[in-house]
Amino acid sequence: MAGNASSQTLAVTLTLLSTDEKTAVKNGKSELMVGVINGIVLGLSSAVISFLIVYFLGIPNPLKIAFVVGVSLCIAVITGPFFALLIPIILKK
């Protein structure tokens, strides 16, 4: 999921950088906000789903496993668009 989010951000950023750098930075802010929202929503939903699966399978510590799954997906989806935006802007300068 993080790869898809970062690929989309990278494509949009490169397209906008070829025309206007200020538009790319402005659009980058909205891309980052979408990444944060997606990260939070996907992290919470994956934590709930993984908790239910682990709980019903009888595996010990379902809360810890759900927490790790949710946080890792949240961080991956948030950092993907961040680096996909940051790297082309740095390389452009």
Confidence check: pLDDT of 24 > 80: no
Cα(90)–Cα(58) distance, rounded to whole angstroms? Answer: 48
Residues near 15 by beta carbon (within 8 Å), at least 6 away in sequence: none
Q: Which residue has the tokens 């939903």?
A: 45
Cα(43)–Cα(79) distance, rounded to whole angstroms? Answer: 13
Predicted local distance difference test score (pLDDT) of residue 7: 81
| Domain range annotation of the chain | 2-92
Predicted local distance difference test score (pLDDT) of residue 56: 94
Higher pLDDT, residue 57 or 80:
57
What is the per-residue pLDDT across 3-12, written as a single tens digit (0 to 9) for each? Answer: 777 787 788 8
What is the per-residue pLDDT across 26-53, written as a single tens digit (0 to 9) for each? Answer: 888 888 898 899 999 999 999 999 999 9
Predicted local distance difference test score (pLDDT) of residue 54: 95
